[in-house]
Amino acid sequence: MRDRQAAGRSVRDALLGDLDDETRRRYGLAEMPEQGPKAPDRPKPGWRGLIQIGQQTAAQIGEDRVTAVAGGVTFFALLSLFPAITAFVSIYGLAADPARISAHMDMLATLLPEGGVDIVRGQVEAIASTSGSALSVAGLFSLGLALYSANGGMKAMLSALNVALFQKETRGFVSLNLVAMCFTLGGLLMAALMLMSIAVIPILLQWLPGQTDAMVAMLRWPILFALLVAGLAALYRWGPSRPERRAAGPRPVLPGAVLAGIVLVGGSMLFSWYAANFGNYNQTYGTLGAVIALMMWMWLSASILLAGAELNAVLGRRKALRLHGDLGEV
């Protein structure tokens, strides 16, 4: 590097050696002093530290172009949506009647825009009414094909997490696809578990004295939220490519998972309310209005998930600074 800089100076001296310093400055030919890398901000204590974390996270979100990256994730997730629904119905059918899925999807109305709920519900009902046994050879083949097709959206998310955590993909083709497939299958299993818990929790509470609908509602949402946070923490922990050893220890995952879970649920409810009352997607996009609303929700969700990863990355760098005085590995 130094030899290259010295060679550059010798060329400039040969071309511009006869010019004095004032002439060089006038025409923008003066050499700029070499600057080293900017020293990272030291972690601040107390509430000032919380403000600093928020500022660093917001700056990193802008620097990594999270909203643009989330747009790419949304594209691949939309392509994977219907294969994922097919796989979900097949997995759900292993433990319950697939025809009952539609009756358990009422909670989606509070999270998805109205048109998006109709799209998902219609596809679920169509698959549930025509699918055969998931344990047959044809059923297992269809399930495997659906899982492979749904894998593209998860691989896009893993790639986006690498961007957020400053990681270069070091896994091979087989390893990357296996990790993505595990997360795809795990996400579908968790979604099926969350959906079945809507019907199972009231049955488990029937033996309690004074059991009311209010008690069921109070217990249902914390359990579903805990499952969501656990899934996000697993995604942040094992999803991105990571170095073999980190001097600062395991990267933080729980703060970003909890915050992303809260914002995801709250943001989904607000967007559903906005789409139902103010968003005129059908007037603007015609028959594609429902699809556009669903895409907007998917983009919002992907942005929130990546923002949670950015928060974990900031906390990881702050931890490395406190322990070793350098950024270390995220």
What is the model's pLDDT at position 61?
A: 94
Q: Domain for residue 198, yes or no?
A: yes
- Going by C-alpha positions, the residue among 288, 254, 294 that lies closest to residue 272 is 294
Q: Domain for residue 22, yes or no?
A: no
| pLDDT per residue as tens digits for the range 25-39 | 655 555 544 444 444
E strand or H helix at 91, and its extent? helix 66-93
| pLDDT per residue as tens digits for the range 46-61 | 778 889 999 999 999 9
Q: Domain for residue 203, yes or no?
A: yes
pLDDT (average), residues 227-252: 80
What is the model's pLDDT at position 178?
A: 93
Q: Domain for residue 24, yes or no?
A: no
pLDDT (average), residues 193-203: 67
Concatenating the DSSP letter of every residue in 234-293 gives HHHHHSS---S--TT-SPP-HHHHHHHHHHHHHHHHHHHHHHHHT--HHHHHGGGHHHHH
Q: Domain for residue 8, yes or no?
A: no
| pLDDT per residue as tens digits for the range 94-143 | 766 666 676 667 767 777 887 788 888 888 877 777 655 554 555 677 77
Q: What is the total count of domains within the chain?
A: 1
Chain centre to alpha carbon of residue 191: 16
What is the model's pLDDT at position 14?
A: 46
Where in the sequence is the domain holding 134, given as residue range(s)?
A: 67-324
Q: Domain for residue 257, yes or no?
A: yes
Residue 224 and residue 194 in contact, taking contact as beta carbons nearer than 8 Å: yes
Q: Which residues of 158-188 are buried (b: 16+ CB within 10 A; e: fewer)?
A: bbbbbbbbebeeebeeeebbebbbebbbebb
Q: Domain for residue 151, yes or no?
A: yes
Q: Which residues of 73-87 are buried (b: 16+ CB within 10 A; e: fewer)?
A: bbbbbeebbbbbbbb
Q: Domain for residue 14, yes or no?
A: no
Structure tokens at 132: 């055969």
The residue type of 80 is S
pLDDT (average), residues 149-177: 90
What is the model's pLDDT at position 66?
A: 94
More reliable by pLDDT, 38 or 201: 201
pTM of the model: 0.78
Structure tokens at 159: 């790639």
pLDDT (average), residues 270-286: 82
